[in-house]
Amino acid sequence: MAICYNLPVFQMRHLKVMQAVEDIEGKLVRWLDSISRALTFHELELIKVETIGKSGVLTLAFKELMHLSIDDKKLFGERLNRAKNSIESAIANRLKHIEILTITEKLKNETLDITLPVVNGQFGSLHMITQTVRRIRDHYHSRGFLVLDGPEIESDFFNFDALNIPKHHPARQSHDTFYLDGLEETLLRTHTSCVQIRTMMKMGLPIRMISIGKTYRNDQLDSTHSPMFHQIEGLVVDRKGITIGHLKNELKKFVATFFEVDEVDIRLRPSYFPFTEPGMEVDCRYTKENGRLRITKDGDRWLELGGAGMVHPNVFKASGIEGPAQGFAFGFGLERLIMLRYGISDIRVIFDTDVRYLQHYA
Ligand code: PHE
């Protein structure tokens, strides 16, 4: 409708806004239709900009309202609001719908059929450490041992005092302990022997358990040392009748299973661990064949595997064991066993993330 310049100003405004509102109501059907057919967020955004955006048709019409009489404001305001609301709710509904469409489409494209054959022959595998821990656990489970855990952050009571290593004992120095900042008595355990104490305190006798876990010492990383490594701890205790003979038998069974040979020869060599009496070093016979190590009971050389001994009376005392008690304990380094079994000469290979190593030793 043409604007008549001879009308009073308020009437001209009335006409202008009425025209705008009618225009909007006429287009509303088209907008709603476009919204209901929009397939992308972008399409919706365009309609939004055109209608209720900052300079959208509706927004501008709203701005005109302020020049009108109160009655006109009410009349046209209501009609504009209705149009705005229907656009907003239509957009919101469609938005939800598009979201669902997008997700459905994505799922359709990302479907993974795990029953299809592997094409490139690349399978994942468990890490050597995981495989080895599982094998060792299976072995001891089959021999009636409990497999228990202990914390890696320990107090020096469990790591040292209770194991008959008092404050100024030289053995503390040789452990190169990581102490926790600001916590004087708290450390990263230097061996798994702490689990011996925790188990005796918690379970009392008899005990037949192993524990496998991480241990820490402040050593420079080189081909045979790592500041983090794993140990296997064993503890068998009863009121009486547990002897070095039982210890030796248990060690033999383990070494044979671990290296997958029928028979092995074990030697217990006197040594010193404050928490054992007597303490001993565990060796086993092997030979070298074409530069490779082979564990065999007729081997001509001795290989050092770990420590062992009969539990020291002070350890029983510190663990709250009263009355007679007798038993043995042993401790092995897991990485050393892995290196021997897989023929690895550098411990860093075990912790390297190079997939080629992992695949090779899988
Ligand atoms: N805890 C000892 C170490 O870390 C190993 C050990 C365990 C020795 C049990 C004897 C008995 O070296």
197 CA to centre of ligand 1 in angstroms:
13
CATH number belonging to domain 128-360: 3.30.930.10
Answer whether residue 277 shows pLDDT above 80: yes
CA 307 to centroid of ligand 1, rounded, Å: 5
Q: Per-residue pLDDT tens for 208-220?
A: 999 999 999 999 9
d(CA 274, CA 326): 16
Any atom of ligand 1 within 6 Å of the Cβ of 333 = no
Q: Are 7 and 66 in contact (CB under 8 A)?
A: no
Q: Is 331 in the pocket of ligand 1 (CB under 6 A)?
A: yes
At residue 228, the pLDDT reads 97
Q: Whose CA is nearest to atom 12 of ligand 1?
A: 307
- Is the Cβ atom of 213 under 6 angstroms away from ligand 1? no
pLDDT tens-digit series, residues 218-267: 999 999 999 999 999 999 999 999 999 999 999 999 999 999 999 999 99
Return the domain boundaries, the chain.
Answer: 9-107, 128-360
Q: Relative to the CA of 231, which ligand 1 atom is closest?
A: 4
Q: Which atom of ligand 1 is nearest to the CA of 215?
A: 4
pLDDT in tens, 302-355: 999 999 999 999 999 999 999 999 999 999 999 999 999 999 999 999 998 888
Residue nearest to atom 7 of ligand 1 (CA): 331
Pairing of strands 179-180, 301-311: unpaired
The residue contributing the CA closest to ligand 1 atom 6 is 331
User: What is the Å distance from ligand 1's center to 281 Cα?
Assistant: 9
Output 271 or 176, whichever has higher pLDDT: 271
Query: Which tens digits make up the pLDDT trace of 23-72?
Result: 888 999 999 999 999 999 999 999 999 999 999 999 998 988 888 888 88
Q: Is the CB of 315 under 6 A from ligand 1?
A: no
Measured in Å, residue 273 CA sits from the centre of ligand 1 at 7
Distance from the CA of 299 to the center of ligand 1, in angstroms?
Answer: 25
Q: Which amino acid is at 359?
A: Q
Residue percentage of the chain with pLDDT more than 90: 72
Confidence at 11, pLDDT banded by 50, 70, 90: confident
- Which ligand 1 atom is nearest residue 333's CA? 4
Q: Alpha-carbon torsion 298, 299, 301, 304, what sign?
A: negative
HEC string of 302-347 equals EEEEEEEEEECHHHHHHCCCCCCCEEEEEEEEHHHHHHHHHCCCCC
Task: Report the pLDDT averaged over residues 125-137.
Answer: 94
C-alpha 129/C-alpha 72 separation (Å) is: 81
Contact 283, 297 (CB under 8 A): no
- Give pLDDT, residue 7: 63
3-state secondary structure the chain: CCCCCCCCHHHHHHHHHHHHHHHHHHHHHHHHHHHHHCCCHHHHHHHHHHHCCCCCHHHHHHHHHHHCCHHHHHHHHHHHHHHHHHHHHHHHHHHHHHHHHHHHHHHHHHCCCCCCCCCCCCCCCCCHHHHHHHHHHHHHHHCCCEEECCCCEEEHHHHCHHHCCCCCCHHHHHCCCCEECCEEEEEECCCCCHHHHHHHHHHCCCEEEEEEEEEECCCCCCCCCCCEEEEEEEEEEECCCCCHHHHHHHHHHHHHHHCCCCCCCEEEEEECCCCEEEEEEEEEEEEEECCEEEECCCCCEEEEEEEEEEECHHHHHHCCCCCCCEEEEEEEEHHHHHHHHHCCCCCHHHHCCCHHHHHHHC
Mean pLDDT, range 146-166, rounded to an integer? 97
- Among 189, 193, 197, 272, which residue has the most ligand 1 atoms within 8 Å of its CB, making it the best to mutate? 193
At position 268, the amino acid (one-letter code) is L
Distance 172 CA to ligand 1 centre (A): 13
- Whole-number Å distance, alpha carbon 343 to ligand 1 midpoint, is 24
User: Is the beta carbon of 308 within 6 A of some atom in ligand 1?
Assistant: yes
pLDDT-based confidence at residue 360 (cuts at 50, 70, 90)? confident
Tell me the pLDDT band of 297, cut-offs 50, 70 and 90: very high
